[in-house]
Amino acid sequence: MNRGGTAYWLVLICLLGLSIPAYAQKSEAEIQLSLTVNGESIQTGKTYYIASIKDSVKLEAIKFYISDVAVFRKTKKVGEGIKKHQLIDAERPESLQLSLIADAKFNIIKFNIGIDSLK
């Protein structure tokens, strides 16, 4: 057997092995949302004074949609929400939890917020 040929293939296999990126294992993660006003957890039916507008607001219902959840490590997308859209309802604490499939480490979350305009 030609030893030079074997060494060539061994080096080629090693180089190919180095060029294949090692992908991080993705797993399920949960993010717990916290709805607050002036650092206090929001309660429907309660009146809150907002100093920046020098007025008070009373929140009767708090419902909105979050969509297209994505998480990033710096500028690289490393995960996304399991659901495309999720209704957030302050009266249902379980709705304040977002489920993700993501790398273990991320430092940025981006999403869209909307309301159902058909009602």
Query: If DSSP states are collapsed to H, E and C, what string results for 41-82?
Result: ECCCCCEEEECCCCEEEECCCCEEEEEEEEEEECCEEEEEEC
Residue 80 belongs to domain spanning: 25-114
Residue 17's pLDDT band (cuts 50, 70, 90): very low
- The answer to whether position 13 is within a domain reads no
pTM: 0.68
- The answer to whether position 77 is within a domain reads yes
CA 14 to chain CA centroid, nearest Å:
37
Please give the helix or strand (H or E) that residue 110 lies within, else none: strand 108-114
Q: What is the pLDDT of residue 5?
A: 52
Q: What is the pLDDT of residue 117?
A: 58
- The answer to whether position 41 is within a domain reads yes
- The answer to whether position 68 is within a domain reads yes
Radius of gyration of the chain (CA): 24
The DSSP 8-state label assigned to residue 106 in this structure reads: -
- The answer to whether position 7 is within a domain reads no
Amino acid sitting at position 4? G
User: How many Cα atoms are found within 13 Å in the side-chain-facing hemisphere of 3?
Assistant: 0
Stretch 1-23: mean pLDDT: 44
Q: What is the pLDDT of residue 18?
A: 37
Residue 27's pLDDT band (cuts 50, 70, 90): confident
- The answer to whether position 42 is within a domain reads yes
pLDDT tens, residue by residue, 78-119: 999 999 999 999 999 999 999 998 886 888 999 999 986 555
Residue 14's pLDDT band (cuts 50, 70, 90): very low
Looking at the 3D structure of the chain, how many domains does it have?
Answer: 1
- The answer to whether position 81 is within a domain reads yes
